[in-house]
Amino acid sequence: MFILDSNKRQPLNVKLYNQIKDQIVTGKLPPHSRLPSVRDLAGELAISRNTVEYAYEQLCTEGFIYSKARSGYFIAALDQEFIIRSSQTRVNSLRHMFAEEKQYTFDFHPASLLPDSFPTAIWRKLFADCLRDNAGALTRYSEQQGERELRGEIQRYLERSRGVICEQDQIVICSGLHDSLAIVAQILRAEHSQLAVEEPGYWIPRSVFQNHSFSITPVPVNVNGLDVEYLQTTSSTVVYVTPSHQFPLGYVMPVESRLRLIQWAETVNGVIIEDDYDSELRYHGKPIPALQGLHPAADIIYAGTFSKVLSPALRISYLVLPYPLLARYHGLFGGFPGTVSLLEQKILARFIKDGYWERHLRKLRTIYKKKHDLLLGAIERHFGSRASIIGQGAGLHVVLELSAHDIEEKELILRAQAKDIRVFPFADTCLVDAGRNSRIMLGFGGMSPDKIEQGVKLLYQCCYEA
């Protein structure tokens, strides 16, 4: 029996085709069983004969059914075991994987942004301007490394605000950090096979480099950032670091450690990947200058993104490659066009050139600093001496170190979810050991001030009163 779903906005023949196919691949319609005649099924479903014929003909063309002269249509003898396993199991898996993410009232995710922070009106205006001024350019592929205009604006911004010393020809525009790191992994894997990462640290570099057959070596983090002495005892020749604001603990690598790290790279003919992921969001004093500026001629790859301040949905990031690695980049990707929307690149270049980027940064620093301070005050009021704060003063999150705490992290997360609170697992930042599960990452970027206060109060109840 077939029932057409009236809620789905599809042609009737497509609905019928999909339903019959689904019943075939799940084994509900056994091989060689006869389908209703075109006339009977049309009458049963109150649809036209043509609709049924279109569905049957498509199924017949694809081999799901076959016809016999003057006998009708029959189910083809397919390998049912394979089809059921490969289709239904995979469908269930994909449904779980791509299920819509729950929206929480109190979302402490460390990468959440203020929902209305994107400069929509300005972007709309620049979109119209760039569409009008670059209509002819939309019929061609963008430059391999990205639009020259955007690379020039990024080069000037990095030199002025981050102390990065480079030429615009060294900049490559990419589609987000994972795309940037995938390019780097392909550039390096001919001569390198091990990546050292911070422990605890960001999970994306580990995953990307593992996907490109690198071995991953965790290196402990202390108050000076990545432990360079420990790094020197490993056999790794590539290291990924966040020296200006270590993720997730927020430590700043002092200049002495930075110089020792550069010396290590020169000694082992190694490469440093510097991720400056949220360098703009520093609330006290000036932003910490980039590691790359200490030795521009060294093999230091500088990675930046517009996701943390402007929009993660734009998928625009960039690399600054030292010239020896730039030559290798061209050898690998010389025949490929750019991967980022040309129009979005034009808009972003104009956004920076016309001063909107700097104004946007100043505005968000003010907003996020207020939220940062509200969060610290709420933690002090509700947790008191039962928690110490790690990594305050920058970025979009802090880390709580809990005392007198024996709840497993998974249990804490479940308790938080019961109160409509989202807490990101700190264990995900650890490759080896999550320790005593006494640390909690609290992001504040996407939360309103009143929710910060209430959310921290409820979180305290999850930790100590549940």
**Looking at the predicted structure, is the pLDDT value of residue 287 above 80?**
no
Tell me which of 329, 354, 379 is where a domain ends. 354
Domain shared by 212 and 231, yes or no? yes
Q: What is the pTM of this model?
A: 0.80
- Any residues with CB less than 8 A from the CB of 183 and at least 6 apart, and which? 172, 174, 319, 329, 333
CATH of the domain at 42: 1.10.10.10
CA atoms of 42 and 53, how far apart (whole Å): 9
Q: Which two tokens stand for residue 130?
A: 């760039």
- Residue 1 within any structural domain of the chain: no
Residues 311, 455 share a domain: no
Q: From 180, 192, 147, 58, select the one nearest 351 (Cα to Cα).
A: 147
Q: Is residue 47 part of a domain?
A: yes
Is 65 domain-assigned?
A: yes
Residue 281 covered by a domain: yes
Burial of 201 (0-12, 13-18, 19+ CB in 10 A): buried
**Mind listing the pLDDT tens digit for each residue in 332-376?**
998 888 889 999 999 999 999 999 999 999 999 999 999 999 999
Q: Which residues contact 273 (CB under 8 A, 6 or more apart)?
A: 181, 184, 205, 238, 239, 240, 241, 301, 303
> What would the pLDDT profile of 431-450 be if each residue is shown by its tens digit?
886 555 688 999 999 999 98
The pLDDT assigned to 86 comes to 44
Segment 299-306 shows an average pLDDT of 96
Verify that 316 and 369 share a domain, yes or no: no
Report how many domains make up the chain: 3
Of the candidates 43, 51, 48, 46, the residue with the CA atom closest to the CA atom of residue 20 = 51
Query: Do 349 and 327 sit in the same domain of this protein?
Result: yes
Q: How far is CA 434 from CA 163, 199, 224, 265, 289, in A?
A: 35, 10, 20, 29, 31
Phi-psi sector, 317: left (phi>0), alpha (psi -120 to 50), beta: beta
CATH of the domain at 424: 3.90.1150.10
Q: Are strands 387-390 and 397-402 parallel, antiparallel or unpaired?
A: antiparallel
CA angle 430/433/436 to nearest 5° reads 105
**Selection from 34, 40, 144, 26 nearest residue 87 by Cα:** 26
Round to whole Å and give the CA distance between 282 and 245: 9
More confident residue, 162 or 27: 162
Domain hosting 214: range is: 120-354
Verify that 83 and 143 share a domain, yes or no.
no
- Please state whether beta strands 300-305 and 271-275 pair in parallel, antiparallel, or not at all (unpaired): parallel
Is 316 found in the same domain as 201?
A: yes
- Of 1-5, 163-167, 352-356, minimum mean pLDDT range: 1-5
